[in-house]
Amino acid sequence: MQLVLEKRAERSNTIALISPLIAIGMTIVTMSILFAILGKNPIAALGVYFIDPLTDSYSLQEIAVKATPLVMIAVGLSLCYLANAWNIGAEGQFLIGAVAGSWIAVKTQGTDAGAWVLPAMLLMGAIAGALYAMIPAICKVKFGASEILTSLMLVYVADLFLDYLVRGPWRDPHGFNFPTTAEFDPVATVPVLIEGGRLHLGAIIALLVVAAATVLLGRTIKGFEIRVVGAAPRAARFGGFNANQLILLTFAISGALAGLAGIIEVAGPVGHLQPGISPGYGFTAIIVAFLGRLNPIGILIAGLFLALTFIGGEQAQIAMKIPLDVTKVFQGILLFYVLACDSLILYRFRLISSTRQVA
């Protein structure tokens, strides 16, 4: 007897609906066991992780603040992944966008520049991110080089470039030689929406991005092409869809979104350019994209959920002395369960009685 995986004749819609719930359920069980092993009350811990942050306005705002870059980047990535173009370099595109947008802020520092500064910064960030993402895309389209690896390598290059800038040419002259630019002028800062919190304009932009992506994928020809090129490449070829052009397009869009997220994060919550502006958003966004099943609304929910775990993890460290590493374990396990349950949408298990032997 052998257990084999075989492709279903068609997608199972029941599984598609309940798989996230099963995944979350299994994650909760696994995490409870982990908490128990660590000597913490599982129910209390789960409460601190998931319930507490939802109970006051400050935490809710922080969840939105944390989710904003994740959702923006993840939506862009989902377009790439749907088209079978694997952009792993969102982190680098995020940083380059932050750098490019900051260039305007640094150059107009102290001058009496007008309200055009912030929109210009955001535009620069998006354009720079798009251009940076085009490098691995062109390498793939023209030379056949793996976009996974080229985009990943460029992350390191971007990180080092940022490091060089803030330690050298862009360093704040009054900053005691510390590697950071001067604080951005108010005109170069992303406005906060609610006084007293950190919820900022970026959140609105993220929502608009989600809406735009939903329209793009659901109602436009290009969106249709993107989905088909990934799901059924041969059919796409017969349909005359140009896979190469779509790779370039999706990389450009996701690069732009990542770059936009980068400059918004720098011009918003941080307020200046420094090394380490991203705690791995570009990579976490990949997880968000998959958790959201490459669907814009799903990504919005997944992004908020993951942000919740970050905030909850910090509160758990304060309230229950649970190490921050547990958050990473949780995220990894959640993604595993979601991916595993999701595979049952397309595949199922069968017991068969015998197997051909290899000669």
* Residues in 21-60 at the binding interface with other proteins, rule: CB under 8 A: 28, 38, 41, 43-44, 46-48, 51-52, 56, 58
183 lies in the binding site for other proteins (CB under 8 A): yes
Residue window 249-288: x/- pattern of binding to other proteins, with contact defined by CB under 8 A = ----------------x---xxxx-x-xxxx---x--xx-
What is the nearest approach in angstroms of other proteins to the Cβ of residue 99?
13
Q: What are 251's two structure tokens?
A: 């990389």
Percentages (nearest 5) of helix, strand, coil residues in the chain = 70, 5, 25
Cα separation, 279 vs 76, in Å, equals 19
> Site residues for other proteins, window 199-238 (CB under 8 A)?
none
Q: Which stretch binds other proteins (CB under 8 A): 9-17, 109-117, 146-154, 230-238?
A: 146-154
Which of 106, 102, 77, 79 minimizes the C-alpha distance to 91? 77
What crossing angle do the helices spanning 117-143 and 243-265 adopt, rounded to 10°?
150
Q: Out of 18, 22, 149, 211, which residue is the one contacting other proteins (CB under 8 A)? A: 149
Q: Out of 13, 110, 114, 143, which residue is the one contacting other proteins (CB under 8 A)? A: 143
Cα separation, 275 vs 111, in Å, equals 25
What letter does residue 197 receive in the DSSP assignment?
S
Q: Give Dmax (Cα) for the chain.
A: 79
Residue window 325-344: x/- pattern of binding to other proteins, with contact defined by CB under 8 A = xxxxxxxxx-xx--xx-xxx
Cα separation, 161 vs 298, in Å, equals 34
Residue number, 187 or 333, with CB nearest to other proteins: 333
Q: Is the dihedral of CA 65, 68, 73, 77 positive or negative?
A: positive
Residue number, 183 or 185, with CB nearest to other proteins: 183
Residue window 81-110: x/- pattern of binding to other proteins, with contact defined by CB under 8 A = -----x-x----------------------
Contacts of 273 (CB under 8 A, 6+ apart): 98, 99, 102, 105, 106, 162, 165, 166, 170, 180, 181, 266
Q: Out of 39, 114, 144, 186, which residue is the one contacting other proteins (CB under 8 A)? A: 144
134 lies in the binding site for other proteins (CB under 8 A): no
What is the nearest approach in angstroms of other proteins to the Cβ of residue 79?
15
Q: Out of 157, 193, 212, 301, which residue is the one contacting other proteins (CB under 8 A)? A: 157
What crossing angle do the helices spanning 57-82 and 281-291 adopt, rounded to 10°?
80
Is the Cβ–Cβ distance between 251 and 231 less than 8 Å?
Answer: no
Cα three-residue angle 316-320-324, rounded to 5 degrees: 45
Q: Out of 33, 119, 178, 242, which residue is the one contacting other proteins (CB under 8 A)? A: 178
Residue number, 219 or 341, with CB nearest to other proteins: 341
Q: Out of 12, 60, 131, 161, which residue is the one contacting other proteins (CB under 8 A)? A: 161
